[in-house]
Amino acid sequence: MKKTILLLFISLLLFGIINDTSAQCAMCTKTASQLGEKPALGLNNGILYLMLAPFAIMGFIGYRWWKNRENS
């Protein structure tokens, strides 16, 4: 349990560090440039937030698979 909490904490810390990452496709970049600076940052943060869920799910599945394989 402690390892899971530590892994979650590190993931959130890294997500906070790389929050300035550009996560927009060409169409979203063009739309964001027309919106202005603050709405563009909100759009970028929303894209990063939506990207986090599939990675978290895949990480959980991979962890469970690794843990079950280790016990066999």
* DSSP summary character for residue 1: -
pTM equals: 0.50
pLDDT at 61 over 90: yes
| Residue-wise DSSP of 13-50 | HHHHHGGG-----HHHHHHHHHH-HHHHHHHHHHHHHH
The pLDDT of residue 23 is above 80: no
For the chain, give the number of residues.
72
The residue ranges of every structural domain in the chain are: 22-71
Token pair of 27 as six digits: 């169409």
